[in-house]
Amino acid sequence: MIHLPKINEILFSLVLMLACASTHAQTGEIRGRVTDQKTALGLTGVSITMSDSTGHAIGHKTYTDEYGNYILQKLTAGNYDLGFDYKGFYKKIIKGIIVSPDKATFLNVELESSEKKQKAY
């Protein structure tokens, strides 16, 4: 026969494990690659900022690596806007990116050069 205190310990342990698992599952991530629209090469050091749907900055910020890849992790599930900024290119803002719990949202972005094109004579 199992003692009642032992059952209480087991139930408490199960509840604690479920609580930890549900807390962990409330975050997601956004990842992708930023490339030059003309050459399709990855851009190194692109600044990526996040804001909520009202335009307020959230404090998550990152930069692309040497291949143009980026990742924003441990994001609370919800809708976000991302801004991509890089010298010599037009800034791009993508709105309404959905982050789901325990999933990765993939977003590849092409930036257009802002340098003036020279006319051939």
pLDDT at 68: 98
pLDDT at 48: 98
Encode pLDDT of 20-64 as tens digits.
555 455 899 999 999 999 999 999 999 999 998 788 888 889 999
Encode pLDDT of 3-30 as tens digits.
556 666 666 665 656 555 554 558 999 9
pTM here is: 0.74
User: In which band, very low, low, confident or very high, does the pLDDT at 66 lie, cut at 50, 70 and 90?
Assistant: very high
Tell me the domains of the chain and their CATH numbers: 26-111 (2.60.40.10)
What value, to the nearest 5°, has the Cα angle with vertex 104 and ends 98 and 105? 40
